[in-house]
Structure 1
Amino acid sequence: MSETVRGEAASLQRGLAILELLAERPDGATLSELTDALQFPGASALRITRTLVRLGYLSRDERSRRFFLTNRFLLLGQPRGREHALTECALPAMRTIRQATGETTHLCCLIDDEMVIIEQLLAAHPFKYSADIGARCPCYSCAPGKAIAAFLPDDEQESLLGRIRFKPFTDTTITTRRAFRQELAGVRACGFAVDRAEGMDGIHCVAAPLLDRHGAAVAAITIAGPSSRVRDDEFEVIGEIVREGARRASEEFNGQ
């Protein structure tokens, strides 16, 4: 192996190490913190971080001098339809859903056993629920997680259920595999899922799956808002709105 190839391989390894470290640090890290944690030469770390910033994989806050991961990795990893990326296919339906409900609308994907927000349209109300793009939560404690899990192929669903380690976040969180199976059967039957303040007190969600050509879930569209506005007695009406929007997004994703 030539010196040039070895040098390129070392730089690649160091770049990946920086990305992996920052993935575990939502508050970011300064250059000195990166070099201390990874034991890299300062000049090498500076060159690599500058390159990653230029390519759009990192951002740097000019005031704190801290580096952060950008959302570029979410865009790389999201499913693609026949012609467009997932977000492009879902955004028109998301806008319609937000207009109809007035609430914050999210597009979410499943990564391992967690839901990840990859797109967000904020509510029209002065008081609104919001979350950072890239925010994660356990799939069993949120409506989009249930919506996707209910429409996974049987083997993938079983694998997912085997990985989940249930714990309560609120008084209404599902905490057993049996209860989650029953919940998924109900979601499968009606076509949408609800979150009755199971992940966060006072916040309700309603979600429906975005399906591929084989009927398997690749994502979910969800609305989220305070329980005073997203009320239990309106779940059916909101569920139909979200389900119809997800159906249109599915058609766009599948090129129909």
Structure 2
Amino acid sequence: MANDDEIQIEPVSSVMKVFAILSALSTQKSLGVTELSRLSMTSKSTVYRFLQTMKMLGYVRQEGDTDKYSLTLKLFEVGAKALEYSDLVEIAEPHMNRIGETTHEALHLGIRDADNIVYVFKVDAQYNLRMQSRIGRRNPLYSTAIGKVLLAEKPEQEVREILANTEFLPSTTNTHKDAASLIAELAIVREQGFGEDVEEQEEGLRCVAAPIYDRFGNVIAGMSLSYPTLRHSDEDKLKYIEMLQESCKKVSDQLGYRSQQ
């Protein structure tokens, strides 16, 4: 019976071959299957299969009806996103820590992935009552303050496309039941410049969030502050929103965003 190391040899070998092909393509405008086979030291039939998969995924393109292939910009886009989000966390962290020290409440930094948000950084509350959250956790766009700021400035048609296959599951009685009700709230979010979750994701928990912009003026992330309803006051909420908006503006500026206002 094969041990774990033996089981892992073939997948690792395949990945190494794929990256050998990508590396070879990065050195030339285009290369044929025979050349790629030689450069990657892989059989032509295997190279062809890998190329067809990479073509289907959008990482390479075929030159007409020839057997030559070239890289698309998708790898650049993936790398640029990784760099952007790496910078995002590094820039946002001190601002979030400062707000956490002032308020003692939990803060999250989230980005969109399909119809979910993904937490990429968090600051725990300093109280005994804490949220059950973690970096890498996903939550729906429709029931989170971060999700709302990520959607608010997108055209309505794009929002509907993003949510086309979303099942609106009622986490609480306050959760949006469909795209129409969420879209109606997004107009308010866009106008006021912040999103709010009033016990929509979790009973007894409120959350406010502000948007973070990239250098092109796109909302790429949201920064939120969460707190239990037992500690809620309208005065505190306004202070939280002001702190979030101020910090998000500074983060956006550091990412290269320049407001037109």
Q: What TM-score does the superposition give when structure 1 sets the normalisation length?
A: 0.66
> Rg larger in 1 or in 2?
2
Contact 1:193–1:239 (CA<8 Å) still a contact in 2?
no
1:45 deviates by 3.2
Unaligned runs of 5+ in 2: 14-78
Deviation above 3 Å: which 4+ runs of structure 1?
A: 40-43, 45-51, 76-81, 152-156, 230-234
| Selected match of 1:144 from 143, 146, 171 | 146
1:45 partnered with 2:7: yes
- Taking a change above 3 Å as real, the CA distance of residues 108 and 228 of structure 1, as seen in their structure-2 partners, is same
Partner residue, 2:17: none
- Measure the CA separation in 2 of the matches of 1:253 and 1:122: 25
- Taking a change above 3 Å as real, the CA distance of residues 233 and 171 of structure 1, as seen in their structure-2 partners, is farther
Partner residue, 2:230: 228
Write the deviation string for residues 127-176 of structure 1: whole angstroms up to 9, x where unpaired: 22241211111110111001111133566434223343212110110112
Contact 1:192–1:209 (CA<8 Å) still a contact in 2?
yes
Write the deviation string for residues 91-121 of structure 1: whole angstroms up to 9, x where unpaired: 1221222233221111111100001111111
Partner residue, 1:4: none
Question: Helix, strand or coil for the counterpart of 1:175?
Answer: coil
For the aligned residues, what is the CA RMSD?
3.0
- Measure the CA separation in 2 of the matches of 1:255 and 1:86: 12
1:210 partnered with 2:172: no
- Bigger CA drift: 189-198 or 246-255? 246-255
The alignment of Structure 1 onto Structure 2 pairs a total of residues equal to: 194
1:232 deviates by 5.3
- Measure the CA separation in 2 of the matches of 1:79 and 1:137: 21
- Measure the CA separation in 2 of the matches of 1:80 and 1:255: 16
| Selected match of 1:250 from 245, 252, 258 | 252
Partner residue, 1:171: 173
- Measure the CA separation in 1 of the matches of 2:252 and 2:132: 24
- Taking a change above 3 Å as real, the CA distance of residues 230 and 253 of structure 1, as seen in their structure-2 partners, is farther
Unaligned runs of 5+ in 1: 1-34, 52-75
The structure, 1 or 2, with the larger RCO (C-alpha pairs under 8 Å, 6+ apart) is: 1
Question: Helix, strand or coil for the counterpart of 2:163?
Answer: helix
Q: What TM-score does the superposition give when structure 2 sets the normalisation length?
A: 0.65
Contact 1:87–1:119 (CA<8 Å) still a contact in 2?
yes
Question: Helix, strand or coil for the counterpart of 2:118?
Answer: strand
